[in-house]
């Protein structure tokens, strides 16, 4: 087992000016499950491939343990990678696929068989060892790909969106199995995904990337409770956080027809770059429905109600003093939309106006200019 360290590691593809990964500084503890997450094109897969040795490091270095592996060949890095597309040999049995890397390395047949059977037992594949991949389901093929990584007994597991080809139900089941397996084996793991729900449920820590730059690293709870900037706030959480930029006057932010008190420390932190405005974020689950006209109540015009059985979500618009919709807010539902979690047994009707209040200490305040969190 080993730690992983990115030390100002950068990757610039030929013919481009902006780095795909820009001076990445990141340390993964021994035995930790770290998830790299972000939108498409943010540099997460490139970061993983740099660690695997499949991409050059143009500046900085990468260490596995105390060993600088920046210029080491992939086969000599003692890592094992699980890909999105399984990459199984169709003409080989499950057992042969799982043991192929060991066979190439000249490992004795008896030891290969022992390791393959041990991995198959862990992954519940023992009854499929003599089958070909075409006779397996997608989830079973992904477990074979994981078994191939396990039998190598590497220092580090690298996983590049391994669940993307599975259906929704199987994806939930398999991500639980992967997380449990990693904790059982205790192998340092770097896992790439664009799905923030996977990141929150699987990782010991999460690293969020955007445009090749590291935005924040922390535990799932830290990312959810204290996002460091507007991007992380809007990316982590499902449904996404409601975020808007509002005029600030005399300690109050104007949200449509509502005026929301802003803590004095936050108001004092406003700089010239914010131009008299403040960005406020609040999650759908941080809102309570209150009687019309309540102090700090925010009027919301209901556009749609999404009923999920155990939950219900209102998708609506902020209302001004005249009852008209205003578009000073956005959420995962789009610009001008606010999302509210409501009691699934007391859902409002389309066109109705409900009043909601942000729960104490559950609003997130950011500089309107830079998007950085206000530490107040």
Q: Tell me: the pLDDT tens digits for 15-27? A: 998 999 999 999 9
* Residue 319 pLDDT exceeds 80: no
Pairwise pLDDT comparison (279 vs 330), residue with the higher score: 279
Output the pLDDT for position 296.
82
Output the pLDDT for position 238.
86
How far is 21 from 8, CA to CA, in rounded Å?
A: 10
Chain centroid to CA 325: 32
| Residue among 43, 46, 40, 52 at smallest CA distance from 4 | 52
* Residue 165 pLDDT exceeds 90: no
- Alpha-carbon torsion angle 130, 142, 156, 129, nearest 10: -10
Average pLDDT over residues 50-79: 95
For tokens 């109050």, the residue is 252
Average pLDDT over residues 29-36: 96
Residues 230, 249 within the same domain: no
Of 204, 234, 264, the position where a domain reaches its end is 234
For tokens 């990678």, the residue is 81
Residues 191, 260 within the same domain: no
Q: Is the dihedral of CA 114, 120, 126, 132 positive or negative?
A: negative
Residues 217, 247 within the same domain: no
In a domain, 151, yes or no: yes
In a domain, 66, yes or no: yes
pTM, to two decimals: 0.89
Output the pLDDT for position 323.
57
Residues 355, 248 within the same domain: yes
In a domain, 115, yes or no: yes
Residues 196, 283 within the same domain: no
Within 8 A by CB and 6+ apart from 181, the residues are 122, 123, 146, 150
Q: What is the CATH number of the domain that holds 291?
A: 2.40.50.140
CB-based contact 31:41 (threshold 8 Å):
no
Could you report the per-residue pLDDT of 276-315, keeping only the tens digit for each? 899 999 999 999 999 988 878 888 999 999 998 899 999 9
Average pLDDT over residues 317-339: 74
- CA distances to 108, 165, 243, 320 from 326, rounded to whole Å, are 71, 40, 14, 7
66 phi-psi bin (left φ>0, alpha ψ -120 to 50, beta other):
alpha
| Residue among 250, 265, 282 at smallest CA distance from 374 | 265
pLDDT band at 258 (very low <50, low <70, confident <90, very high): confident
How far is 125 from 137, CA to CA, in rounded Å?
A: 12
pLDDT band at 321 (very low <50, low <70, confident <90, very high): low
Of 234, 252, 269, the position where a domain reaches its end is 234
DSSP 349: P
Q: Which domain holds residue 287?
A: 241-367
Output the pLDDT for position 178.
86
pLDDT band at 259 (very low <50, low <70, confident <90, very high): confident
* Residue 324 pLDDT exceeds 70: no
Could you report the per-residue pLDDT of 212-231, keeping only the tens digit for each? 999 999 999 999 999 999 99
| Residue among 77, 52, 60, 49 at smallest CA distance from 6 | 60
Output the pLDDT for position 143.
87
Residues 15, 149 within the same domain: yes
| Residue among 328, 324, 304 at smallest CA distance from 314 | 304
Q: Which residues pair with 357 in a beta bridge?
A: 288
Of 174, 205, 234, the position where a domain reaches its end is 234
Decide: helix, strand or coil at residue 11: strand
Q: What is the mean pLDDT of the chain?
A: 90
Pairwise pLDDT comparison (174 vs 314), residue with the higher score: 314
- Distance between terminal CA atoms of the chain? 40
Could you report the per-residue pLDDT of 178-188, keeping only the tens digit for each? 888 888 889 99
Residues 220, 194 within the same domain: yes
Q: What percent of the chain stands above pLDDT 70? A: 97
Output the pLDDT for position 205.
97
CB-based contact 34:191 (threshold 8 Å):
yes
In a domain, 375, yes or no: no
Q: How many domains, in total, are found in the chain?
A: 2
In a domain, 135, yes or no: yes
pLDDT band at 376 (very low <50, low <70, confident <90, very high): low
Q: What is the CATH number of the domain that holds 27?
A: 3.40.50.300
């Amino acid at each position: 087992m080993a730690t992983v360290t990115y030390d100002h590691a950068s990757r610039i593809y030929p013919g481009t000016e902006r780095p795909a990964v820009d001076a990445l500084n990141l340390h993964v503890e021994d035995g930790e499950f770290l998830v790299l997450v972000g939108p498409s094109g943010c540099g997460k897969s490139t970061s993983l491939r740099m660690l695997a040795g499949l991409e050059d490091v143009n500046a900085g270095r990468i260490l596995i343990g105390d060993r600088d592996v920046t210029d080491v060949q992939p086969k000599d890095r003692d890592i094992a990678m699980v890909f999105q597309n399984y990459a199984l040999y169709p003409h080989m049995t499950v057992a042969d696929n799982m043991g192929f890397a060991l066979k190439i390395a000249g490992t004795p047949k008896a030891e290969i068989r022992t390791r393959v059977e041990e991995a198959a037992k862990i992954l519940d594949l023992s009854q499929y060892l003599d089958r070909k991949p075409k006779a397996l389901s997608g989830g079973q093929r992904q477990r074979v790909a994981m078994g191939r990584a396990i039998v190598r007994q590497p220092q580090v597991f690298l996983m590049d969106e391994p669940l993307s080809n599975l259906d929704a139900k199987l994806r939930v089941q398999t991500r639980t199995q992967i997380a449990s397996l990693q904790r059982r084996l205790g192998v340092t793991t770097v896992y790439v995904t664009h799905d923030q729900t996977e990141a929150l449920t699987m990782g010991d820590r999460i690293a969020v990337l955007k445009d090749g730059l590291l935005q924040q690293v922390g535990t799932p709870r830290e990312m959810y409770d204290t996002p460091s900037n507007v991007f992380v706030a809007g990316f982590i959480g499902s449904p996404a956080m409601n975020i808007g930029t509002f005029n600030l006057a005399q300690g109050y932010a104007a949200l449509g027809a509502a005026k929301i008190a802003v803590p004095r420390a936050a108001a004092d932190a406003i700089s010239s770059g914010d131009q008299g405005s403040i960005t406020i974020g609040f999650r759908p689950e941080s809102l309570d429905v209150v009687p019309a006209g309540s102090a700090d109540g925010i009027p919301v015009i209901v556009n749609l109600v999404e009923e999920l059985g155990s939950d219900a979500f209102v998708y609506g618009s902020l209302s001004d003093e005249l009852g008209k919709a205003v578009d000073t807010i956005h959420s995962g539902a789009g610009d001008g939309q606010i999302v509210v979690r409501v009691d699934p047994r007391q859902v409002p009707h389309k066109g109705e106006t409900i009043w909601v209040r942000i729960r104490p200490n559950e609003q997130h305040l950011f500089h309107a200019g830079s998007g950085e969190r206000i530490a107040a």
